[in-house]
Amino acid sequence: MYADNSAPAAPRPAVTVPRLRQMKADGERIASLTAYDAGFARTLDAAGIDAVLVGDSLGMVVQGHGSTLPVTVEDIVYHTACVSRGLRKALLIADMPFQSYATPEHAIASATPMLARGRASMVKLEGAGPLLESIRFLAERDIPVCAHLGLTPQSVLRLGGYKVQGREEAAAARLRADARAVRDAGADLLVLECVPSALAAEITQDLDIPTIGIGAGADCDGQILVLHDLLGLNSGHRRPRFVKDFLAEGGSIEGAIKAYVRAVKNREFPTAEHGYEA
């Protein structure tokens, strides 16, 4: 009777590693969140999240530790397998725990069960310098790597706390060089955490791989937040300035995640108030 002439929405393609690079080339923002179980993973996937990270933040938000250091490879494999059962389209990234990639041999032994049993499509590891060898070793053996620079929480003992990185010119120059070095070693994605917004923008412009920011301003290729932060569950800690409680805006868990995806895609989150100056 009444034909609906509007074109049906194109089905969302599964997010693959090459697709992330295409999204950068097309100027499409990558919306990413952490998850630790199948139920939330299903909700994130249905809301249009592009990439889900099983972060070692699980040590703090799930296990109740004061840092990410106690998390084990087996913890990550278990939670990655749980999350994988809830995903259909989103790319699954597993976080490599403290010292589980200190040498290339250790890195491949840790990463393999994350892909084979956890069904991740990528692993994430923190740092550059001596760890470039591990990135190269994994990438050359077809294990996609997401690097992580800036505030690297596994370095909390050396850094003396969770602080913005790259504010002084020497530190900014080191970060610029490290970003190129992880790309050259074969990383396909780069998380930039707590760095001045202008520096993150510069690194994003400079690289052909996508950057995902958290406390790194509005000009990265994508954004990530810890799920618990987005839902306003801050477990008694002071809320960092880059966090926004989307539950207040979305009205429900599904609504909050959809509001986050929409805000990232439309470049409405983060804004200048969520970033740091040099």
**226 belongs to the binding site for ligand KIV (CB under 6 A):** yes
- DSSP for 262-275, written as a single string: HHHHTT-SS-GGGS
Contacts of 181 (CB under 8 A, 6+ apart): 128, 132
Q: Which helix (H) or strand (E) holds 53?
A: strand 51-54
Annotated catalytic, 193? yes
Kindly list the distances between the CA atom of residue 20 and the CA atoms of 23, 142, 195, in Å, as whole numbers in the listed order.
Answer: 5, 16, 22
Q: Which is nearer to ligand KIV, 15 or 224 (CB)?
A: 224
Our finding on whether 75 is near ligand KIV (CB under 6 A) is no
The distance of closest approach from Cβ of residue 191 to ligand KIV in the complex, given in angstroms and rounded to an integer, is 5
Task: Give Cα 259 distance to the centre of its chain.
Answer: 18
Work out how close the CB of 1 gets to ligand KIV at its nearest, in angstroms, rounded to a whole number. Answer: 51
Position among 50, 56, 219, 221 found at the interface with ligand KIV (CB under 6 A): 56
* Per-residue binding letters, 31-50, with ligand KIV (x by CB under 6 A): ---x----------------
Distance in Å, CB of 142 to ligand KIV, minimum: 23
CA–CA separation, 213 and 200 (whole Å): 8
d(CA 129, CA 136): 12
Task: Single out the segment in contact with ligand KIV by CB under 6 A; choices: 19-27, 51-59, 168-176, 179-187.
Answer: 51-59
Which residues are near ligand KIV by CB under 6 A?
Answer: 34, 53, 55-57, 95, 191, 193, 214, 224, 226
| Active-site residue list | 193
